[in-house]
Structure 1
């Protein structure tokens, strides 16, 4: 189903939808739309990872006499849920370590960029309805849309055009680039790709993604106490917290390696 869809059309119409959204929103809200970062981000996000993908995929599946629900099903997923939960926890730890590692390595080349990443806490900067919209987008809407786009359209279409190995690498490099934690996001996307290819059920990656993002959202909202080595906000502190962060990164690798090895046959 995804194999028959054209990536270039998705990108083209997505670009057009974004331009139209910016123009219409500017007419409605005036200069506030461009000056208010939270308003701009929410409206554009709900367009790019909300209204537009939903309409586009509905129409694409309709052309094939299918539904967007034909790629997700609830049958025989209960036995996979414990694995999903365990891998989610493992990947959260891996991502924390990977973010430290990438920040550490980049600090020698692009220190100003690393300082920007460490100080950027604007994700939930809004209040009231804006705050709620951001939380819903990050926790639910974004994960669903990203799974249809990355694990569905890109992975399957590129796999049909070239081969599945190249597809899984290219798709998840793109997925990583679009997230602050490139290494962690690549591994996250890679694991989700294996799960989708193994089960041919997009619901499991969607559940995985929602669970991961919801945990991140709750942590950002409630800001519970965390170990000191996770609270680095300067490059100097990155160096000072090297050992515990590196240990956290390394201990997850054998777990992920075993899972990848046991399921690598789906792309080989």
Structure 2
């Protein structure tokens, strides 16, 4: 089959899968939430438990279905050539880039707080121990594993034949859009580029899963009400950001010009791709409130 025709076929399949992912997440949540309410679970507990159950179910179904449909196996075994020092470098670059971007976005949001409010999901800890355990399980374990299986496992696995750079940009764009709000989407896009990069370098999604978990875990540490602890964490974050900037600049100085075999807009030139863009834009607009 002609490569351009194969490309068109593959992106249609991927976009349909992503739409199915969105549909199933919504449908299963609509089923799970009333069941948990009927069982007298508290509102805060349902807020984290329902998506955790939903995500596990939907991810299992999609991975099982689309590994066979896409004729690929999600790589778990790390390449022997990928050394631990390389992993540490990716940890620093990914987290540093994400945190720096978040700081910039946070500054912009604060500057615009009198004009607009950018709503984001509330993943702050609560007063209930069980609720907080469910929050940690969902945010630090379930979500990273699920998202890496879908985005770095299935989507990157299918797209990498069309170029590593192109595949990484598309996966990161989709990953950002699916979050549905600007404060999360922009840092998410940045960190996703590094998660794709480490996946391609290690030939495994395990490093990406672990970095994703670390990133989400550090975000939860911000809720610990201890001034000394927060000071130590903030100092570590600043140090990691500085080292990350140095590593990233050094890394990209040594690389030749990036070339894309396909344009980003080529990925969305199909009905499913257009629907994904429309849904994402509507979610982002819906998350913006005028003061």
Q: TM-score with structure 1 length normalisation?
A: 0.69
Detail structure 1 runs of 4+ shifted over 6 Å in the superposition.
245-248, 263-268
CA-to-aligned-CA distance 1:105-124 (integer Å, 9 cap, x gap): 3445564556867xx86432
Matches of 1:183 and 1:65, distance apart in 2: 32
Q: How does 1:210-249 map to 2 (within 5 A)?
A: 210-218=213-221, 220-221=223-224, 225-227=229-231
Cα shift at 1:42 = 2.7
Q: Tell whether the 8 Å contact from 2:125 to 2:132 is kept in structure 1 after alignment.
A: yes
Q: Tell whether the 8 Å contact from 2:36 to 2:46 is kept in structure 1 after alignment.
A: no
Q: Tell whether the 8 Å contact from 1:159 to 1:167 is kept in structure 2 after alignment.
A: yes
**Structure 1 counterpart of 2:88:** 85
**Structure 2 counterpart of 1:237:** none
Matches of 2:210 and 2:62, distance apart in 1: 22
Tell me: CA distance 1:44–1:255, structure 2 relative to 1, closer, same or farther (3 Å): same
CA RMSD of aligned residues (A): 4.1
Tell me: CA distance 1:16–1:203, structure 2 relative to 1, closer, same or farther (3 Å): closer
CA-to-aligned-CA distance 1:146-179 (integer Å, 9 cap, x gap): 112222233344455x654343223213333527
Q: Tell whether the 8 Å contact from 1:90 to 1:252 is kept in structure 2 after alignment.
A: yes
Matches of 1:14 and 1:122, distance apart in 2: 20
Does 16-25 or 203-212 show the bigger shift?
A: 16-25
Matched, 1:72 2:76: yes
Q: Tell whether the 8 Å contact from 1:98 to 1:183 is kept in structure 2 after alignment.
A: yes
Matched, 1:42 2:45: no
Runs of at least 5 residues in structure 1 that lack an aligned partner in the other structure? 231-244
Q: What SS is found at the alignment partner of 2:204?
A: coil
Q: How does 1:167-206 map to 2 (within 5 A)?
A: 167-177=167-177, 178=179, 180-206=183-209
Matches of 1:40 and 1:220, distance apart in 2: 18
Q: Tell whether the 8 Å contact from 1:150 to 1:171 is kept in structure 2 after alignment.
A: yes
Matches of 1:172 and 1:211, distance apart in 2: 18
**Structure 1 counterpart of 2:153:** 152
Matches of 1:165 and 1:186, distance apart in 2: 14
Q: Tell whether the 8 Å contact from 2:67 to 2:154 is kept in structure 1 after alignment.
A: no
Going by fraction, where is helix more abundant, 1 or 2?
1
Matches of 2:213 and 2:238, distance apart in 1: 27
Cα shift at 1:58 = 1.9
The alignment of Structure 1 onto Structure 2 pairs a total of residues equal to 245
Q: What SS is found at the alignment partner of 2:80?
A: coil
Tell me: CA distance 1:40–1:108, structure 2 relative to 1, closer, same or farther (3 Å): closer
Q: How does 1:13-24 map to 2 (within 5 A)?
A: 14-24=22-32
Matches of 1:211 and 1:247, distance apart in 2: 16
Tell me: CA distance 1:267–1:133, structure 2 relative to 1, closer, same or farther (3 Å): farther
Tell me: CA distance 1:73–1:227, structure 2 relative to 1, closer, same or farther (3 Å): same
Tell me: CA distance 1:140–1:260, structure 2 relative to 1, closer, same or farther (3 Å): farther
Matches of 1:151 and 1:121, distance apart in 2: 25
